[in-house]
Structure 1
């Protein structure tokens, strides 16, 4: 489980089931680069830093040093939701992880690096349907759709409109998913992204943010995940 910052990692850890009686106790494992890996049973939680580059570096470090291969990498934390699909306090499960602003402005509009011939801008995800079903069965309002990775968080209605025009059906935006997905792909590990919605994508209005509600939803989501399917 890869988050950006420590409070997100703490919410994930609060939601994770306690280890069984015969499992190893929780542990904190320092990694090169100043990272700290929190281990509970078969699950590792890492706060890798803000933005796609930091997320990729931290994820790649953990993957390269794993004593046993991981079966899934999950990018998670809070993020912005596209109304009305993903209201405040809901969960978004990504069916695609998309680098929304990786490309070039041209006289004809935005061109992705894929269109420019330089690489990929999206990754498919694993287990999205099963995870979404488990969360909905547990009573969490949950949307499934593309989660956009941006290097600059949207703060205007015009930018939100541009993103939804380029990415119809987008459910959320955050800053780390594509970096995590690139690292996972490089190591041949499936990836998923899960976001708890703390604010609406659009005009920046901190007074309207619901970060506490989003952390509570994130914690609850990790209590409900179908770990037998993921691990």
Structure 2
């Protein structure tokens, strides 16, 4: 897969970490803002501008740092999403949370493109693979952690943008994947347990390995 790859991050510090692993300009890196709405809107705009300029992208990767479910994705580790799920998009009910799918209003799951995911797995054999949850509110309690794992037993990590990026990529007919490095364990909020510097370093290392193959 040669050139024309768009890597979308939430914030500039994540974009800088990705760029630090690149050696040429075949990969475009852009921060688009925090949360699924900003991610979808920003990604769609970048895709449209590239198409209008006659240099369309060939694939889109949502990248950045995120939280890892304890025992599944360690702090400082790398995660590849087999799918990105809008985990809090739905409705509450007396019987529990109902997803958008269950309500009949649409889909909350965006699978990673198989070929792109296989390429990333080959480049990063040490990466944990599984579902990455997209949430508008970062998890900060044991109760929410348990509830999310009950609904999504294959979840390995959470972030705030993947599903939004996936929606924009899907609307444009572009392959999509999500790559996260883990800055903190998911659960009761404990800033002392965060290792943001380690997550940024892992992000740089991942793209130094992946970028030449994209």
The list of structure 1 runs, each at least 4 consecutive aligned residues, that deviate by more than 6 angstroms after superposition, is: none
Aligned counterpart for 1:62 among listed residues 17, 26, 46: 46
CA deviation profile, 1:68-110 (whole Å, cap 9, x unmatched): 2211100010000012110000000000010000000011110
Equivalent position of 2:26 in the other structure: 42
How far apart are residue 156 of structure 1 and its match?
Answer: 0.3
CA deviation profile, 1:11-65 (whole Å, cap 9, x unmatched): 000011x22xxxxxxxxxxxxxxxxxxxxx2211110000000001100000011
Unaligned runs of 5+ in 2: 1-6
How far apart are residue 226 of structure 1 and its match?
Answer: 5.7
Cα distance change on mapping 1:46 and 1:81 into 2, 3 Å = same
Equivalent position of 1:9 in the other structure: 15
Question: TM-score, normalising length from structure 1?
Answer: 0.86
Equivalent position of 2:139 in the other structure: 154
Equivalent position of 2:72 in the other structure: 85
Equivalent position of 1:188 in the other structure: 173
Equivalent position of 1:96 in the other structure: 83
**Of 67-76 and 206-215, the range deviating more from structure 2:** 67-76
Q: Secondary structure at the match of 1:50?
A: coil
Asked if the contact 2:112–2:175 (Cα under 8 Å) also holds between the matched residues in 1, the reply is yes
Q: Distance in 2 between matches of 1:132 and 1:155?
A: 30
Unaligned runs of 5+ in 1: 20-40
Number of matched residues?
203
Q: CA RMSD in A?
A: 1.0
Q: Secondary structure at the match of 2:145?
A: helix
Asked if the contact 1:91–1:197 (Cα under 8 Å) also holds between the matched residues in 2, the reply is yes
Asked if the contact 1:128–1:144 (Cα under 8 Å) also holds between the matched residues in 2, the reply is no
Matched, 1:71 2:55: no
The higher-RCO structure (CA 8 Å, 6+ apart) is 2
Asked if the contact 2:27–2:211 (Cα under 8 Å) also holds between the matched residues in 1, the reply is no
Asked if the contact 2:83–2:110 (Cα under 8 Å) also holds between the matched residues in 1, the reply is yes
Equivalent position of 1:175 in the other structure: 160
